[in-house]
Structure 1
Amino acid sequence: MKLSKADIQFIDTYLENSDVVYADIRMEMVDHVASDIENRMEAGDTRSFYEVFKTYMVENKAQLLKDNKQFLKSADKKIWKTFLKELKNPITPLLYVISCVGFYMLHQNFSLETSRLCLSIVPLVGFTGFIFTYVVYQSVKDNKRFSVVERLAFPFLALYQLPNIFLNNTKELSETSDLFWTIGGASLALTLVLILVIISIKLFKNYERQYKTLA
């Protein structure tokens, strides 16, 4: 016995109204709930779908909401696992070296104030890029929310103040130690932000393929 599309949509809407806000998590749960209800009806439960569903939710809703939290933890783990994997990519040290050279040339050719300003806005540029990409992605996806995609904002925020930490611990960039310390820190921040941008694009594309039916 198979549930109708209307039944499936009813389950999805119910879960969404129960604070299971991420479409990818709901998709997993809908499949699980629908399969269990179909099994019950095939086993001899002659009641209507809505009656069987109501009984099922009385028995299992608390566990489903608990599973929702576990899915979110899994999303965070997936982000960091992908991030650590990307750190091992040969392009990562290359990005760091290019960043160092770029910031050094900036310091050599522009004023101290200009250099400090550019260093301080590095994370903002990356975070703004992520927000813009996410907004575009959301509009394409008809405002559906995806767990891993949305939670990528947290590591971006974590890196937001990193260059300022180095800047606040240096007095003048004219001193060699301060210059290397600041450029090294800002380059590290820029490299990490770029890695996040790269994995964001990869995860966006992965969700595009995996959850194409939700588009």
Structure 2
Amino acid sequence: MQLSKENIKFIDNYLKNSEVIYYDIRMEMLDHVATAVEQKMEAENLDFYDAFKSYMVLNKKGILKGNKDGTNVSYSWSVIKSFLIFITKPYMLILLLLLVILFKKVEVADYLNESFTINNLFLVSILSIALFQLFYFYIYLKERFFVIEKVGGVLALLYYAQIFFFNGFDKEAPSSIVVAIFFYLLFAYIIYFINEILKFNKKNKLLLQ
């Protein structure tokens, strides 16, 4: 017995009112609850509202516990771990190798100047990505995404690392390998970001069909 779009919307609003603020977490919960309610309607011959009420009386605390456990922290190790696994995939390591070769062959500093150095370029790149995410989610979509917010900690780590490695050397520029690694992590972050959005959109479309 498949739920209607109105039923799906009802569950979504219920989760919103229960302070499930992250859209991706809410969709995961919505999928779980909708499936369970469908099964309950079929097994016990109930209408949607009776099945939903009966299910949530028994399961609400357990369902919402995952939301509270995961959203009260600045960083999520599971998300960071997912990113670390992603950057060690074979095709990503090939990208790293290509960047190392590129930065060894091409002296990027020759295309910059004293007023706009390689560290300035890297910093501007970080800020541009952060501003794009802020605009895309908070202004355009008007939704918060748990995975993207938590993996955003990688951007913060890259910011502080570039201060140490780039600004920390007054007399000599960072090596081509250091520059390649930093830009690899930045490109990997962008690819990971796009990959997560595409995966989520695909799953979301299947759920809302």
Same fold (TM over 0.5): yes
Question: How far, CA to CA, are the matches of 2:167 and 2:77 in structure 1?
Answer: 34
- Which residue is equivalent to 2:28? 28
Where do 5+ consecutive residues of structure 2 fail to align? Answer: none
Number of residue-to-residue matches in the alignment: 202
Q: Residues 170 and 182 of structure 1 are in contact (CA less than 8 Å); yes or no, is this contact kept in structure 2?
A: no
Pairing 1:110-149 to 2, within 5 Å after superposition: 110=113, 113-114=114-115, 117-135=116-134, 137-138=136-137, 142-149=141-148
Q: Which has the larger radius of gyration?
A: 1
Q: Could you tell me the percent identity over the aligned residues?
A: 31
How far does residue 64 in structure 1 lie from its aligned partner after superposition? 0.8
Please report the TM-score for the alignment, with normalisation by the length of structure 2: 0.73
- Cα deviations across residues 153-183 of structure 1 (Å, max 9, x unaligned)? 221111012222124543422xxxxx4x455
- Which residue is equivalent to 2:203? 210
- Which residue is equivalent to 2:154? 155
TM-aligned CA distance change 1:5 to 1:41, over 3 Å: same
- Which residue is equivalent to 1:105? 110
- Which residue is equivalent to 1:189? 182
Please report the TM-score for the alignment, with normalisation by the length of structure 1: 0.72
**Comparing 2-11 and 154-163, the one that deviates more:** 2-11
Pairing 1:18-97 to 2, within 5 Å after superposition: 18-44=18-44, 46=46, 49-68=48-67, 69=69, 74-85=78-89, 88-97=92-101
How far does residue 13 in structure 1 lie from its aligned partner after superposition? 1.1
How far does residue 210 in structure 1 lie from its aligned partner after superposition? 3.2
Question: How far, CA to CA, are the matches of 1:75 and 1:166 in structure 2?
Answer: 25
Where do 5+ consecutive residues of structure 1 fail to align? Answer: 174-178
- Which residue is equivalent to 1:176? none
Amino acid corresponding to residue 126 of structure 1 in structure 2: S
TM-aligned CA distance change 1:20 to 1:119, over 3 Å: same
TM-aligned CA distance change 1:14 to 1:123, over 3 Å: farther
How far does residue 16 in structure 1 lie from its aligned partner after superposition? 1.9
Asked if 1:166 is matched to 2:152, the reply is no
Q: Residues 119 and 162 of structure 2 are in contact (CA less than 8 Å); yes or no, is this contact kept in structure 1?
A: yes
Asked if 1:9 is matched to 2:9, the reply is yes
TM-aligned CA distance change 1:77 to 1:12, over 3 Å: farther
TM-aligned CA distance change 1:40 to 1:207, over 3 Å: closer
Question: How far, CA to CA, are the matches of 1:193 and 1:7 in structure 2?
Answer: 41
TM-aligned CA distance change 1:88 to 1:187, over 3 Å: closer
3-state DSSP of counterpart to 1:170: coil
- Cα deviations across residues 9-54 of structure 1 (Å, max 9, x unaligned)? 11111112223223333223222212222333333365x5434433
How far does residue 186 in structure 1 lie from its aligned partner after superposition? 3.8
